[in-house]
Each structure stands twice: as C-alpha cells, then as structure tokens.
Amino acid sequence: MAPNPPSPPRGFPQAANGPRFANPFPQLPEQALLSEDISMRETPDMSGDINSRLRIESPSDDTSEDSLMSDSDSEPDETLTKSRRGLPISTLPTGLCYDDRMRYHAEVAATSAENVHPEDPRRIYYIFKELCEAGLVDDKDYPPMVEQPLRRIDAREATKEEILLIHDEEDHYKFVRSTAAMTNAELIDLSESAEQDSIYFNQLSFFSGKLSAGAAIETCKAVLDRKVKNAIAVIRPPGHHAEPLKPMGFCLFNNVCIASKACQVDAILGQECRKILIVDWDVHHGNGCQRAFYNDPNILYISLHVHMNGQFYPSGPEGDMFHCGEGPGLGKNVNIPWPSKGMGDGDYIYAFQSVVMPIAVEFDPDFVIVAAGFDAAAGDELGGCFVTPACYAHMTHMLMSLAGGKIAVCLEGGYNFGAISKSALAVTRTLMGEPPDRLQATAATSSAIDTIAKVRNVQSKYWRSIYPKEPVAGIFGGERLHDIIRRYQAMHLYDKYKLTQLHIFRDTITRSFDQQVLATPNYETKKALIVIFHDSPDLLASNTGISTQQKPHDTWLVDGTQSYIHWATSQNHGVIDVNIPEFITVPAPAPAPALPADQPGIKPEQQYGTAGLLDPASAATSTQHQYSTSTSVEYASGTSDLARREGEKLASYLWENYIEPYAFPHGIFLVGAGHAFHSVAKLISDNDTVYPALSGVVVFSSTQPIRPVTSGTNHWVTGWYRENSLVYVSEKHSLWKKEKEKQGGKVFSKRYGRLVKSPAEVLNGMMLLHREEVVRWMTERIEQRREAMGSSEEEGEDDDDNEEDDGEEDSTKADADGDNDADAAKNGQASSDADTIDDPAVKGESGNGDGGGIVVSAAGASPLTGAPLSRGDVVMTTEQ
Ligand SMILES: [Zn+2]
C-alpha cells in the first residue's frame, strides 16, 4: 500500500478508485495533522473569531425606513440590513464541510478486496467527487458551474471539552484516545474483541473522530451564524450509534450530538438554537442520540429506521415507538420503527407528512440537524430499503421550511458509493435552492401505514397536532373485546348448535385457549368432521380520527364462521370451532415483577408480551437503562408471533387428542381463516400422518400471510395440497401483484395450494361470499367418499390403502408436470413459514417481511433420529 501523503490532498489527487490509506499505517508527522494546508477558501476562520462576527437581530432595530439609503454601506452589520429586503437568506451560499483527513481512520488489518469493511474511507471521497463533478464546488480541478458554489467550511478537531459535552471522560474519551498510542497488533486485537460492537481503530482513528465531530460543530455554527444559509457536512467516522459511555456501530464520537450541545452552550450562538430538532433518517436507529438527549426537553430527536421488532441493528427494544423520552424530555423522542426492510419513497414521504413534519412544526425548532445516513437508499445492501435521491431531496425540502431555513445535514451511514453520492448530491442541490426532482412512486405500503398509525397514537399524548388521541386500550382496566366476543360466540353457538367447550389438558398450552375450542355434541361419532381455525370476527367501524374511541352502535361484527357451522350441523357433520386470538392473554410465566407505582396500567399479559419479545441479553441490557418500561406492548408485532406459536401447539394437541383417535369415514376438512391458517399449515406440514386423513383444506386470507404447505420428509404433501385445497385470497393481497410482475410465467408454486382470487376484502365477508362454492366443494368430496365407502363396504379397512394410493398418484403428477417443489422439499428447505407470502408486500422481495419469519431449522428433521421436528422447534431468523 502506498504510504500516506504527508499533507492532505486537495481535489482529486488519486484515481477514482484511489487508495484508502490502508495499512499498515505509517505514523504521520505531527504537523501534518494541523490544518494549514486546508485552504480557508472564502470563509474566515470560524473556530477563532466566530463570536466577534455575530450579529444580534432584535425587533427594535427598525432600519427599514432608511435602508434604501444605506444600500451601499459596508457596515459590519450588513447582514442585518440585508435581512430587511430582497432575498437575504437565499442569496447566502450553502456550506460544505469536507476534509480528506477524515479518511485516515481505516482498518489496520489488511483485508481482501471482497472483505472490505463497509465503513470505508472512500465513502466521503466519492460524495465530494460527485459534488465536484456536478459543478457545485469551487475546486481547481473541477471549475464550478453555478454562480454561487458551495462555501467551504473548514473542519477542525473537536476539543476535549466539546466531546465531553456528550461523552464520559473515563469510559469513553480516554479509551478512544488510548487507541492512538497502540501498536497495530493491539489495534487488531481490540477491533476483534467481543466488547467492541462493530468498531475498528487505527492510530489515527482518534484524530479522524475528533475531526469529524469538529466538522459537524463548525458546519452547524456556520449555519447558525448565517455565514451560510444551510450546509452539508460530508464527514466520517459517523456518530449516531456512539453512546455517552462507549463507541459502537462504526461510530466513535457522536458528531451531531456534540455539535448540538456545542452550539447550545456557545455564549452567543446558544441564543439562536435553544430548541434543536435532530432528524435521523439513517436506516439504523440512532441509539447514541436517543440516549444522549433522552431527558432533554430542548432537543427533539426523530428517527426513522428499520426496527424489525428489535432484530435489526442496533438490536433490542430501544428503537421501538414507545421510547418517547423521560423526565423533562418526555415526548421529545420520536421513533418511527419500520417493521421490515424494503421501505421506499412512499413510506418515507408518508412518515414525513404524517408524523415528522406535524411534530416538527409544533416543536418549532430554532435549528435543524439531519443525521443523514444514506443506507436506506436504493442499492444499499446493509439497509435493504429503496429510498431514491429524489425522496431524500423532498425530505430535505420539507425540513428547510423549519427554523427559518437553518438546517445542517451531517453524514452518518450509507455504504453503497453510488447511492450515497447520488443521494448526497440530491440533498445538496436542494439545500442550494434547486427544486427536488419529481417522485415516481408515492403510495405508502400498508405496513408503513400501520406503523405510522401506531406511532401517531403513541405520540398523540405529547403533541396537540397529532390525532387520534389516546386513550389506548386497557388503561381503564377494561377487557379485550375479543374475549368478550368469544364468550358471546360460545353462548350463541351453544344456544343454536349446542357447541360446547373441548378442554385442553396440557400445561404447555396457554390457558388463553380455554374458551376458544368448541365442538358440536358427539362430534366424534359423525361420519364427517369440519375443523375451523379462525381469527376473531372482523369489527367494522367508522372512525372519526379524533380519538381511539369507537361507538358500539356504529361498530359491526362480521362473523363468517357461523354460516359454515350452520351448514355442517344441518348436514349432521361434526364441527370443531377454534378461535385463535391474535393477541394471547396469558398470565406471566414467572411471577410478575412488582410494578412501579407510576405505571398502574400494566396488565400481566403486557408484561408477558414484553418478556416474550426480548432475548435475555437485551432484556438484561434494558434493565440497566434509565428508560421507563413500555406500557403498551399490545402494538408489538411479536405478540402475534407468540399467538402463532401457541396456535401451532394447540392444533397439534387437538389433532392428537380429539381428531386422530376417531374415524371419520366421510372425511375431515380443515378450514383456516386469516392468521389462524398458520396452525393448519404447520399441522399438515409437520405431520406426515395428517394429510392422508384429510378430504380437503379450505383457506381464507384477506391480507394475512399466505403460508405454504411443505414437508421436509414427505414430498407428496405439496402435490396433495395443490389437488385438495381451495385457497381464497383477496384481490387486495400483494400476492396478485407478483402475478402481474411475472406475466405469463408460472407464478405460484404448488405449495401455496389452489389459489382463488376473491373480490372480498374483509376476511369474514370473504367467508360469507364464497360459502356456497365451498359448501358445494366439500359436499362433492364427502359424496365421493361415501360412494367409495359404499362400493367397498365389505372390505371394511380400505381407508388407509385409498389414502396411500392418493399419495402415489399425486406425487407422480407432481413429477410429470415438472414441478420442482417436491425436490425443493426433499432438499430440506421445507418450512411452512420460510416462503410465506406476506401482505403488506415488501417491495422487491418476498418472504422478507414479518421480521424474517420463522424457519424450521436446517434439515427439517432431527439429524440424529430422522424424526420430524417437534412443533416447538422453530427459530427466529435474525438479520443484521
Ligand atoms: Zn446506518
């Protein structure tokens, strides 16, 4: 590797793919660290006399009367005079802070080209080059193509005092400083040590880190001082993960936090920025910023990030929407946690219009800092999102309407050189006054709409402009309606069809299901059995948008299940009706911890819900934090995971104890409606003995995930499923978009069953709409069995044989028409969840929503015994 040049290069001294100042890293002569070689450009030395250049504007300074006369005056107070007429702000230049020396922070260990750390020193260089090539910079190699190029702002090292405004001296500052004196071997060891979370160091990391923080300070001060109208700081190492006590996540010092505080404590500039808004659109949650200002009422932190229920870096619950600040800072922390990757322009614009801007306008900041990671950009593999440069420009444009236009954009993450360059260029052009490019796609996905609705509800407590207002369910000690509805259903089903409860005698199954399994009398003696797994009925209500309160007289309960029970009992079929609530109300597994006195609203199931979400490690961490515990976990999507797993256990218990022991010569039908279908899919997929006993499977799904039926040990299952299922899917489901995308080609594999597009949107409406077809289909199949029975009645024991024949036949068919699902299943990738098609769709990819889903581990069978995995053997996939 080329030795480092003794003085910082300007312009483009290296080729586009120039050196990264990689290692082993030579010691720089001390004087090279000073900034004399960085030109001051037109900007005076801001670190020195910033105070002396201050203007103070007061309403009593009425110079408008004589200002025409003093036009040509060159008084020191020129800005003030200017501000009274013309376009005083827009004629100011936009600032740019970039310093090549921030590239000195690099990995010590030589890495192969394929294994380059994503926080690559070239990141800032490519952005700077993009700005130069666009003609926005006054650079000797790239003459500017605009009348007023970017005004260069010089970086300087942040002082120790400035850094200590945010970071702890003993735990943080001294540690980072110590790395400057370490040997390369020590640095490699340090970077690889488990205590360091995604951090590397070399001897110049400390220097680069200080320079990055100082650059952020100077950039912010230049804006506050109106030396520039706004500015962008192209800086690294990034900062928003760095916590007061430790560096982490590629971040050494928290640049934007240090800059915020440094401006606020400035004797004169502090008056200009008593209230600061930090908007963090990096794809990761800025845990460091949140922690630094968690109880600060004067710094509003708003972060949009992929959260994936705590599975995305920095993992844990801190980035969830319930972390709203504490003490005087309560309400000044706003997290917009995306449930999955794959978010795009429509989602970000929707979030800005629905949450960020209303809250920001109400907060009315004096100054706006953007923690601008570009890792949500289309093309960034780490982020997996699809935000375009035009969208970044629009977000910038919206924020420019705040604080009299005083906005400083500071680079955070972003790892695709092309994406960050184009995105940063779009932001810079917008700062300079160019209108943002038009947006191509503006519709938000339903998961974003859902997230935003929940965030608005959480934030409605703290912001007058945000509706609907709480109260959120449960705070009055009320009951969840689904429990009330189930009791009503049980009563009603008893009155009409004499359904009574089937008891669940197993400790490992949640007691929540006690009320949920009902059966017709003597169902086990009937010739045919219909088992219906369904969600709670749909509730449809008009929404005023003002509060979360619903009017009972305006709320309608739609229950499609009863019409099937009515039909089945009229035909003298047996019925087992299983209601699987999406939220499971179970007592805490361990004695519930004593509740803090100020949180009377927490109910046991909420405690459980929280505990269920956390892995022990993050739970342990969270107890160390000063954060208050979330009291509203019913919004957490993890609770439905919990419900799903409990549903699986219940289905297999019912099968073993209430269905399999009895003969139903005319067949068994499984019906799965909504999320509850998951239990059916798992039951068939995981137990080779189930499908031969079935006459058919009927599925209804409006926007719920469509789950595949496959088995790792029996490839006939998939073919069987295709031939013996009816899967109704709402035309609103994202599944059909995929069909459009792949016009002509074979779109859906057999493991999703026989798909039927339904015009209905509401689940229970769908069940009612297709009742006649479904009943006819089931009746035909029952008749077929009955006839087969009649012709072979003497043989008496033909059931099993028939079923095996069916299996053979189906598998042959499957092979004949070239379907390779069976092979896929044989390869051991079978899992009824891995290929689940989710709705709302995640753009561009499938099976990625829902937190990565649940997959059956590796081979689908225990390597030791070859036995199918037990239903409990599911593991969450984790993604970083
Ligand atoms: Zn990031």
Distance 339 CA to ligand 1 centre (A): 16
> Which entry of 241, 305, 323, 715 is annotated as an active-site residue?
241
* pLDDT band at residue 182 using 50, 70 and 90 as cut-offs: confident
Bridge partners for 305 per DSSP: 337
* Distance between Cα 414 and ligand 1 center (Å): 6
CA of 420 from ligand 1 middle (Å) equals 12
Residue 500's pLDDT is 92
Rounded CA Rg of the chain: 32
Contact 255, 268 (CB under 8 A): no
Ligand 1 centroid–CA 250 distance in Å is 9
Chain mean pLDDT for the chain: 77
Exposure string of 109-148, with b = 16+ CB inside 10 Å and e = fewer, is beeeeeeebebbbbbbbbbbbbbbbbebbbbeebeeebee
Separation of CA 753 and ligand 1 centre (Å): 40
Dihedral class, residue 818 (left if φ above 0, else alpha if ψ from -120 to 50, else beta): left
Ligand 1 centre distance from Cα of residue 167 (Å): 20
Q: Which of 189-193, 347-351, 812-816 has the highest mean predicted lDDT (pLDDT)?
A: 347-351
Instruction: Report pLDDT digits (tens) over 710-753.
Output: 888 888 899 999 999 999 999 888 788 766 666 554 557 788 89
The Å distance, Cα 836 to ligand 1 centre, comes to 28
- Res 686 pLDDT > 50: yes
- The rounded Å distance from CA 284 to ligand 1 centre is 4
C-alpha 409 to ligand 1 mean position (Å)? 15
Q: Look at the block and give the residue holding tokens 């504490």.
A: 326
Choice between 773 and 608, residue whose per-residue pLDDT is larger = 773
Share of the chain above pLDDT 90, in %: 50
Does residue 35 have a pLDDT over 50?
no
pLDDT tens digits, one per residue of 437-495:
999 867 899 899 999 999 999 999 999 999 988 665 556 667 778 878 888 888 999 99
Q: How many residues does the chain have?
A: 880
| CA 286–ligand 1 middle distance (angstroms) | 8
Chain-centroid distance, C-alpha 645: 22
In angstroms, the Cα distances linking 568 to 182, 528, 529, 563, 813 are 78, 9, 8, 9, 32
Rounded Cα gap, residues 541 and 557, in angstroms = 9
Domains, in order of start, for the chain: 92-108+120-459 (3.40.800.20), 481-585+639-827 (3.40.50), 604-637 (no CATH)
Instruction: Report, as an integer, the average pLDDT of 184-213.
Output: 85
Residue with tokens 């306008």: 361
Residue 336: which H helix or E strand, with range? strand 333-338
Phi, psi at 280, each rounded to 5°: -115, 105
Cα of 528 vs centre of ligand 1, distance in Å, is: 57
Give the pLDDT score at 201: 86
Is it the case that residue 530 has pLDDT exceeding 70?
A: yes
- pLDDT value for 114: 61
Distance 312 CA to ligand 1 centre (A): 11
- Which class for 866: exposed (0-12), middle (13-18), buried (19 or more C-beta within 10 A)? exposed
Lowest mean pLDDT segment, chosen from 94-98, 281-285, 623-627: 623-627
How far apart CA 364 and CA 347 sit, in angstroms, is 24
Which pLDDT value is given to residue 513? Answer: 67
**254 touches 239 (CB < 8 A):** yes
241 close to 287: Cβ distance less than 8 angstroms: yes
Measured CA to CA, the distance from residue 482 to residue 579 in angstroms comes to 10
Read off the pLDDT band of 549 (50, 70, 90): confident
Catalytic residue flag (residue 241) = yes
Q: Collapsing DSSP states into helix, strand and coil, what is residue 136?
A: coil
Do residues 437 and 338 make contact, with C-beta atoms less than 8 angstroms apart? no
Q: What are 367-422's pLDDT values in tens digits? A: 999 999 999 999 999 999 999 999 999 999 999 999 999 999 999 999 999 999 99
Residue 232 backbone dihedrals phi, psi, to 5 degrees: -125, 135
Q: Please count the other Cβ atoms lying within 10 Å of the Cβ belonging to residue 745.
A: 7
Pairwise pLDDT comparison (863 vs 541), residue with the higher score:
541
Task: Write out the DSSP string of 674-711.
Answer: GGGHHHHHHHHHH-TTTGGGEEEEEEEESSSPBPP---
pLDDT at 23: 38
Q: Tell me, what's the pLDDT at 106?
A: 81
Please classify residue 624 by burial: count the beta carbons closer than 10 Å to its beta carbon, then call 0-12 exposed, 13-18 middle and 19+ buried.
exposed
Helix (H, G, I), strand (E, B) or coil at 369: strand
pLDDT of the residue at 571 = 95
pLDDT at 364 over 70: yes
30: left (phi over 0), alpha (psi -120 to 50) or beta: alpha
Looking at residue 510, what is its pLDDT? Answer: 63
Give the Å distance between the CA of 324 and the centre of ligand 1: 21
pLDDT at 474: 54
State whether residue 616 is helix, strand or coil: helix
Residue 542, number of CB atoms within 10 A of its CB: 10
| Those residues with Cβ within 8 angstroms of residue 20's Cβ, 6 or more apart along the chain or in another chain | 103, 106, 116, 120, 121, 122
Judge whether 625 and 318 are in contact, CB under 8 Å.
yes
Contact predicate 531/568, CB 8 Å: no
**C-beta of residue 698 within 8 angstroms of C-beta of residue 774:** yes
Q: How far is the CA of 97 from the centre of ligand 1 (A)?
A: 20
In order, the DSSP letters of 395-459 are: HHHHHTTSGGG-EEEEE-----HHHHHHHHHHHHHHHHTPPPPPPS--PPPHHHHHHHHHHHHHH
* Cα 372 to ligand 1 centre (Å): 9
668 strand-pairing partners: 529, 694
More confident residue, 185 or 508: 185
Nearest residue to 388 via CA among 359, 362, 431, 419: 419
Tokens of 230: 């706004």
Q: Are strands 555-558 and 538-541 parallel, antiparallel or unpaired?
A: antiparallel
**pLDDT tens column, 630-673:** 332 333 344 556 777 888 888 999 999 999 999 999 999 999 99
pLDDT in tens, 735-747: 887 666 665 545 5
C-alpha 843 to ligand 1 mean position (Å):
20
For a pLDDT cut of 70, what percent of the chain falls above it? 70
Q: Does residue 860 surpass a pLDDT of 60?
A: no
Say if residues 674 and 701 touch (Cβ distance below 8 Å). Answer: yes
Q: Are 725 and 774 in contact (CB under 8 A)?
A: no
Say what angle helices 205-224 and 255-265 make with each other, to 10 degrees.
Answer: 50
How far away, in angstroms, is 342 Cα from ligand 1 center? 15
C-alpha–C-alpha distance, residues 262 and 223, integer Å? 13
CA of 462 from ligand 1 middle (Å) equals 27
Ligand 1 centroid–CA 313 distance in Å is: 9
- Are 855 and 832 within 8 A, CB to CB? no
Determine the distance from the C-alpha atom of residue 595 to the mean position of all C-alpha atoms in its chain, rounded to a whole number: 29
Report the C-alpha gap between 517 and 504 in whole angstroms.
Answer: 8
Question: What confidence category does residue 192 fall into, taking pLDDT thresholds of 50, 70 and 90?
Answer: confident
The DSSP symbol for 229 reads S
Tokens 């008084």 identify what position? 75
What integer is the mean pLDDT of 278-297? 97
- Give residue 401 CA to ligand 1 midpoint distance, Å: 25
What average pLDDT does the segment 170-187 reach?
A: 90
CA of 416 relative to ligand 1 center, distance in Å: 12
Distance from the alpha carbon of residue 189 to the mean position of ligand 1, in angstroms: 24
Residue 280 CA, ligand 1 centroid: distance in Å: 10
Q: How far apart are CA 843 and CA 341, in angstroms?
A: 9
pLDDT of the residue at 242: 96
Identity of the residue numbered 766:
M
